[in-house]
Chain A
Amino acid sequence: GENVEQHPSTLSVQEGDSAVIKCTYSDSASNYFPWYKQELGKRPQLIIDIRSNVGEKKDQRIAVTLNKTAKHFSLHITETQPEDSAVYFCAASINTGGFKTIFGAGTRLFVKA
Chain B
Amino acid sequence: EADIYQTPRYLVIGTGKKITLECSQTMGHDKMYWYQQDPGMELHLIHYSYGVNSTEKGDLSSESTVSRIRTEHFPLTLESARPSHTSQYLCASTSGNTGELFFGEGSRLTVL
A residues whose Cβ falls under 8 Å from a Cβ of B: 1-2, 32, 34, 36, 38, 40, 42-46, 49, 87, 89, 93, 95, 97-106, 108
Is B21 on the interface with A (CB-CB < 8 A)? no
Residues of B within 8 A of A104 (CB): 42
Contact B40 A38 (CB under 8 A): yes
Smallest Cβ distance from B19 to chain A, in angstroms?
21
Contact B50 A105 (CB under 8 A): no
Q: How many residues of B contact A (CB 8 A)?
A: 24
B residues whose Cβ falls under 8 Å from a Cβ of A: 30-31, 33, 35, 40-45, 48, 50, 59, 90, 94, 96, 98-101, 103-106
Contact A43 B45 (CB under 8 A): no
Contact B40 A108 (CB under 8 A): yes
Q: Roughly how many angstroms separate A87 CA and B59 CA in the complex, as a whole number?
A: 22
Nearest first, the 7 A-B pairs at minimum CB distance are A98-B50, A43-B103, A99-B99, A103-B43, A105-B42, A98-B31, A32-B99
Contact B100 A34 (CB under 8 A): yes
Contact A101 B96 (CB under 8 A): no
Closest to A103 in B: B43
Contact B99 A101 (CB under 8 A): yes
Smallest Cβ distance from A40 to chain B, in angstroms?
7
Smallest Cβ distance from A10 to chain B, in angstroms?
11
Which of A1, A43, A89, A102 counts the most chain B CB atoms within 10 A?
Answer: A43
